[in-house]
C-alpha cells in the first residue's frame, strides 16, 4: 500500500523559518523518526540537491560552483569520516547563495561547529519530529486500523512518537492483533530486528563487543568501561558511539548513559552474541570493578550474575568484619540469607555476620541461634589455634555489639573483653559506638543507665574501653561525660564544651569521623539551647564539608537529617518538606532500625507540616523497636512526639503518653530531651496539670520548656489561621493547587477560564498568608483542608 505523508507541524514550521531567514538548519534525531522523508516532502516542488554521507564519505561531490539548485541537503552527516569529504563540505558551505539543510543522528561534529561558527543556525530536535496522538490515529487509519482517541494517546506515548515503531505496530494490528501487551511485545522484537539492519550491522566488531558488555549497566565511567570491556582504547570507542548517534550520551562529568531503547536492544542481543563464558566474564570483571570502588551491593549483584559463588562468600566475609555503621548488612541481606547453612557453619566470621544481620532485622531468635552456633563451633575439637581465636573474638564482639541485647551488663562485658585482649586470647574487629548517630548516649547502644553513675564509669572503664575499642573509642569518655552532663544539667555550658572540644581533638587525630560527628551533634544541641541556631547550623555545615573532603560519605544521610532538625527550630518547614520528598527513608517501603535517627527527624517534619496521621503511624512502628531493644532515650523522645500528635489530633490519651515519657526522663534527670520541644510541648504541660513529677525536676523542666518556647516560637508550629474564610470556589480549587496541578489543568477540570483560576489563586495565597505553592500545601495541611501527599 502507498502511504500518505503525515506532516509534523513543528518541524515544518522550522523548515519554513529557516528557508525564509536563509539560515542553515540542522535536524538531529535517532534513525526511524522520518527526518529525510520529511525534508524531501517539504522540498518536493523545489529544486534541490541531496548528498549522503551514509558510507562515511559523500556519494557525490560536484564542484560547488557548478551546483545550480538553490537548496542543498546533506544527509547522514553523523557518519561522515573521510577527510576529503569533510574538506568538500567546508568549501560547499562557503556558498552563501545556497540554503543548506543538514541531517544527522548526533550533535553537530566539532569539526563542523568550527566551520559554521559565524553563521546563524536553526536546530530541529527529536521532539520536533515525534508524532502525537492525532498523527498516530491518522497513520493507523491508513493501515485500516481504527483506534479511539484515548488509545491513540496511549500508543503515541508507548511508541515515543517514533515513526518506524508505529509502522511496525500498525502492520501487526492490521493483521488482526489488538493493541495490548502481546502487540507491544511483538512490535518490540520487530523493532530490534530493524535495529539489527539499521545500526548494529554497520558497527565494527570492536564497537559491537564493547557496547554489548556495557549494556548491562545504567551508567558507567571511562575506567569502568575499560575494566568491563578490556579495551585500552575504550575512550575512542565511546567517542565513536556518540558520533554515530545519540544512543550514548555523556553528562560532561565523565559519566555515560545509554538511551533506554539501545540498552534494551543490546540486552536482548546479549543472549545470541555472547557465549555463557563471555557473559560470566563480563559480570565478573564488573564485580571486580565495583568491589574496588567499595560498592559492595553492585559487586555482589555482578558476581551473582557471573555465578561466582566463591567471590560472593569472600565479599560477605569482608563485610562481616565491619561494624553495622560501615558494613552493608541490610543492603546485602538477600545474599547473606541465601548462603548455604553448611557453608556458613564453617566460617566464624559469617556466623557472626548473620547473627548481627538478624539482630538488625529485629529477628532476635535467629540472631541468638547463630550466636549459639558460633559458640558451639568454638568448642569443637580439632580446631586450630587460629580458628579458636577467631571464634572467641567474634563471640566477644557480639557480646558487646548485638543491638537487641541493650546495654545491661555491658560494663562487665567490656572489662572481660579487655582481659581477653590483654591475654591476647582475642583480636576484636572494628566497633561502632555511635552507629553514625549524632550522639554517644543514644548511639550504637543506649547508655542512659550509665549516665546515673557517669563520673564513676568514666574512671573505671576508661582503660578497658581504650583497650577493647582502640581508635573507635578515642574521645569516647570525654563526649559521653559531656553529653550526660548536658542532659542532667550537672555542668555549665563552658565546662561541657571544653570536654567536647578536647574529645574532638582526640577523635580527629586518633579516632574516627563517626565519633567526631557525635561530638558535633552534642555541640549543636548546646548552641540551640543557648539560642544560637545559626552557630549550630554553621558548625554542622563546616563539618559536612570536612566529611565530604575526607570521603566519609556514610555520615551524610544523618548529617543532612540533623541539618533539617536544626532548621525546624527556626521554622524552615519547606526545607523539611523537600528533604522528605528527596532523601528521607520511606518507612512504608522498608523499615530498618539503623535509620532510627532519620525516622525521628521525619516525625518532627511531619508535625511541622501538619501530616499528623503519617507521624502517628511512624511513631507506633518505632515504639515497638525502641521497647524491644531497650532504647530508653528514644522511648522518651518517641513518647513525647506521640503525646504531641495525640494532643493535636484531639485524642484523649495524650496525657498518659506525656506522663510516661516525662517520668522516664525524670528517672535519668534528663531535661533537654523534653525541653527542646518547647512551644510544641508547652500547651500540653500547661493543660496536663499534675504529672506526678518531683517538684524540683518539674520546675527545672517547666523553666527550660518556657525558654525554648520563647527562643523558638516557630518550632513544630501548629497554628495556622485564615485571614478570611475561603469562598466555595476557593475551597474547591485549594486541593488541586496542593496536588501540583498547573493552573491550565485546574481551569480545564473546573470548567473555568485560566484568568479566573489566577484570580482565585491570588485570593487563596492572601487568605493563607503564603507566597508559593509549597507554602500553600503546608498551610492547607495545618488547617486540615488538604490530606494528600
Q: Tell me the pLDDT tens digit for each residue of 304-328.
A: 999 999 999 999 999 998 888 888 8
User: Under DSSP, is residue 442 helix (H, G, I), strand (E, B) or coil?
Assistant: strand
* The predicted structure's pLDDT at residue 421: 67
* Residues whose CB falls within 8 Å of the CB of residue 719, separated by 6 or more in sequence, listed in order: 782
Measure the CA–CA gap between 720 and 724, rounded to whole angstroms: 12
Query: Degrees (nearest 5) of the Cα angle 360, 365, 370?
Result: 80
Measure the CA–CA gap between 26 and 39, rounded to whole angstroms: 11
Contact 237, 210 (CB under 8 A): yes
Sign of the Cα pseudo-torsion (495, 501, 504, 509, in order): negative
* The predicted structure's pLDDT at residue 773: 83
* The predicted structure's pLDDT at residue 345: 94
Q: Is the pLDDT of residue 401 over 90?
A: no
Q: Is the pLDDT of residue 165 over 80?
A: yes
Strand 71-75 to 99-104 pairing? parallel
Query: Degrees (nearest 5) of the Cα angle 497, 500, 505?
Result: 125
Q: Is the pLDDT of residue 537 over 60?
A: yes
Strand 248-250 to 255-258 pairing? antiparallel
* Strands, E assignment, 577-724: none
* 755 compared with 27, residue with greater pLDDT: 27
Measure the CA–CA gap between 329 and 370, rounded to whole angstroms: 15
Whole-number Cα distances in Å, 660 to 617, 641, 668, 690: 19, 12, 13, 13
Instruction: Name the strand (E) or helix (H) holding 257.
Output: strand 255-258
Q: Is the pLDDT of residue 67 over 80?
A: yes
* The predicted structure's pLDDT at residue 473: 81
Q: With bands split at pLDDT 50, 70 and 90, how would you rate the model's confidence at 65? A: very high
Grid cell digits, residue 745: 489543568
Mean pLDDT along residues 752-778: 84
The beta-carbon contacts of 298-306 under 8 Å, at least 24 apart in sequence, are 300/332, 300/335, 304/335, 305/216, 305/279, 305/280, 306/279, 306/280, 306/281, 306/282
Residues 247-262 have pLDDT tens digits of: 888 888 889 999 888 8
* The predicted structure's pLDDT at residue 2: 57
Residue with cell 503518653: 657
Q: With bands split at pLDDT 50, 70 and 90, how would you rate the model's confidence at 464? A: confident
Measure the CA–CA gap between 614 and 634, rounded to whole angstroms: 18
Q: With bands split at pLDDT 50, 70 and 90, how would you rate the model's confidence at 709? A: very high
Contact 428, 468 (CB under 8 A): yes
Residue with cell 503519617: 614
Q: With bands split at pLDDT 50, 70 and 90, how would you rate the model's confidence at 554? A: very high
* The predicted structure's pLDDT at residue 644: 95
The mean-pLDDT minimum among 372-376, 415-419, 570-574, 615-619 falls in 415-419
Grid cell digits, residue 242: 556518540
CB count, 10 Å around CB of 446? 22
* Percent of the chain predicted with pLDDT > 90: 63
The mean-pLDDT minimum among 501-505, 601-605, 610-614, 778-782 falls in 778-782
Mean pLDDT along residues 93-122: 89
Alpha helices in 160-218, H assignment, sequence order: 163-174, 181-198, 205-214
Q: Is the pLDDT of residue 419 over 90?
A: no
Mean pLDDT along residues 224-233: 91
* 718 compared with 142, residue with greater pLDDT: 142
Q: With bands split at pLDDT 50, 70 and 90, how would you rate the model's confidence at 722? A: low
Residue with cell 549483584: 301
Amino acid at each position: 500500500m502507498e502511504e500518505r505523508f503525515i506532516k509534523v507541524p513543528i518541524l515544518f514550521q522550522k523548515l519554513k523559518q529557516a528557508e525564509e531567514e536563509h539560515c542553515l538548519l540542522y535536524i538531529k534525531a535517532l534513525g526511524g523518526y522520518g527526518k529525510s522523508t520529511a525534508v524531501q516532502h517539504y522540498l518536493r516542488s523545489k529544486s534541490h540537491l541531496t548528498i549522503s554521507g551514509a558510507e562515511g564519505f559523500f556519494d557525490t561531490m560536484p564542484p560547488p560552483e557548478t551546483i545550480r539548485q538553490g537548496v542543498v541537503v546533506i544527509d547522514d552527516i553523523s557518519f561522515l569520516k573521510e577527510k576529503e569529504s569533510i574538506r568538500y563540505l567546508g568549501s560547499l558551505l562557503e556558498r552563501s547563495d545556497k540554503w543548506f539543510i543538514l541531517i544527522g543522528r548526533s550533535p553537530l561534529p566539532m569539526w563542523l561547529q568550527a566551520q559554521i561558527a559565524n553563521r546563524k543556525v536553526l536546530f530541529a530536535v527529536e521532539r520536533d519530529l515525534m508524532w502525537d496522538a492525532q498523527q498516530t490515529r491518522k497513520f493507523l487509519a491508513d493501515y485500516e486500523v481504527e483506534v479511539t482517541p484515548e488509545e491513540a494517546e496511549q500508543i503515541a506515548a508507548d511508541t515515543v512518537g517514533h515513526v518506524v515503531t508505529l509502522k511496525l505496530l500498525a502492520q501487526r494490528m492490521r493483521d488482526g492483533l489488538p493493541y495490548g501487551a502481546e502487540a507491544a511485545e511483538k512490535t518490540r522484537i520487530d523493532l530490534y530486528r530493524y535495529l539489527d539492519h539499521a545500526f548494529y550491522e554497520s558497527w565494527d566488531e570492536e564497537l559491537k563487543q564493547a557496547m554489548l558488555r556495557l549494556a548491562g549497566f545504567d551508567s558507567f565511567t571511562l575506567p569502568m568501561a575499560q575494566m568491563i570491556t578490556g579495551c585500552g582504547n575504550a575512550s575512542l570507542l565511546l567517542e565513536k558511539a556518540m558520533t554515530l548517534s545519540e544512543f550514548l550520551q555523556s553528562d560532561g562529568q565523565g559519566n555515560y548513559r545509554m538511551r533506554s531503547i539501545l540498552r534494551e536492544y543490546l540486552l536482548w542481543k546479549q543472549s545470541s552474541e555472547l557465549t555463557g563464558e563471555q557473559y560470566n566474564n563480563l559480570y565478573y570483571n564488573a564485580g571486580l570493578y565495583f568491589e574496588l570502588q567499595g560498592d559492595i551491593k553492585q559487586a555482589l549483584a555482578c558476581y551473582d550474575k557471573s555465578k561466582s559463588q566463591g567471590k560472593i562468600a569472600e565479599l560477605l566475609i569482608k563485610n562481616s568484619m565491619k561494624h553495622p555503621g560501615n558494613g552493608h548488612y541490610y543492603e546485602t541481606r538477600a545474599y547473606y540469607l541465601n548462603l548455604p547453612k553448611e557453608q556458613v557453619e564453617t566460617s566464624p566470621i559469617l556466623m557472626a555476620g548473620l547473627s548481627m544481620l538478624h539482630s538488625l532485622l529485629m529477628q532476635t531468635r535467629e540472631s541468638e541461634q547463630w550466636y549459639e552456633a558460633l559458640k558451639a563451633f568454638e568448642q569443637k575439637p580439632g580446631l586450630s589455634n587460629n580458628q579458636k581465636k577467631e571464634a572467641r573474638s567474634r563471640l566477644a564482639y557480639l557480646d558487646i555489639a548485638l543491638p537487641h541485647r541493650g546495654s545491661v551488663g555491658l560494663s562487665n562485658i567490656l572489662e572481660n573483653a579487655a582481659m581477653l585482649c590483654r591475654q591476647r586470647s582475642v583480636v576484636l574487629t572494628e566497633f561502632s559506638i555511635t552507629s553514625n548517630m549524632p550522639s554517644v548516649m543514644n548511639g550504637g547502644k543506649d547508655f542512659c543507665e550509665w549516665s546515673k553513675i557517669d563520673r564513676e564509669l568514666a574512671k573505671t572503664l576508661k582503660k578497658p574501653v581504650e583497650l577493647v575499642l582502640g581508635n573507635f573509642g578515642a574521645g569516647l569518655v570525654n563526649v559521653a561525660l559531656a553529653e550526660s552532663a548536658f542532659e542532667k544539667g550537672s555542668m555549665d555550658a563552658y565546662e561541657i564544651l571544653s570536654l567536647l572540644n578536647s574529645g574532638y581533638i582526640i577523635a580527629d587525630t586518633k579516632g574516627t569521623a563517626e565519633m567526631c560527628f557525635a561530638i558535633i551533634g552534642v555541640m549543636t544541641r548546646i548552641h540551640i539551647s543557648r539560642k544560637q541556631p545559626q552557630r549550630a547550623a554553621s558548625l554542622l555545615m563546616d563539618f559536612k564539608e570536612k566529611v565530604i573532603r575526607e570521603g566519609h560519605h556514610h555520615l551524610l544521610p544523618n548529617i543532612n537529617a540533623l541539618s533539617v532538625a536544626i532548621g525546624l527550630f527556626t521554622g524552615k518547614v519547606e526545607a523539611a518538606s523537600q528533604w522528605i520528598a528527596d532523601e528521607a527513608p520511606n518507612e512504608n517501603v522498608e523499615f530498618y532500625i539503623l535509620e532510627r535517627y532519620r525516622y525521628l527527624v521525619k516525625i518532627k517534619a511531619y508535625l511541622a507540616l501538619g501530616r499528623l496521621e503519617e507521624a502517628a503511624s511512624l511513631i507506633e512502628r518505632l515504639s515497638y523497636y525502641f521497647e524491644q531493644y531497650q532504647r530508653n532515650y528514644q522511648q522518651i523522645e518517641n513518647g513525647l512526639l506521640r503525646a504531641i500528635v495525640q494532643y493535636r489530633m484531639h485524642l484523649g490519651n495524650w496525657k498518659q503518653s506525656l506522663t510516661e515519657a516525662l517520668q522516664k526522663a525524670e528517672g535519668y534527670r534528663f531535661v533537654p530531651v523534653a525541653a527542646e520541644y518547647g512551644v510544641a510541648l508547652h500547651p500540653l504541660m500547661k493543660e496536663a496539670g499534675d504529672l506526678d513529677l518531683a517538684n524540683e525536676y518539674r520546675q527545672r523542666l517547666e523553666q527550660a520548656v518556657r525558654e525554648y518556647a520563647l527562643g523558638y516560637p516557630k518550632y513544630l508550629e501548629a497554628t495556622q489561621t485564615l485571614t478570611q474564610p475561603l469562598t466555595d470556589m476557593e475551597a474547591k480549587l485549594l486541593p488541586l493547587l496542593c496536588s501540583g496541578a498547573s493552573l491550565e489543568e485546574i481551569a480545564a477540570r473546573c470548567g473555568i477560564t485560566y484568568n479566573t483560576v489566577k484570580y482565585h489563586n491570588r485570593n487563596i495565597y492572601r487568605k493563607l498568608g503564603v507566597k508559593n505553592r509549597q507554602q500553600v500545601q503546608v498551610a492547607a495541611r495545618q488547617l486540615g483542608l488538604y490530606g494528600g501527599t
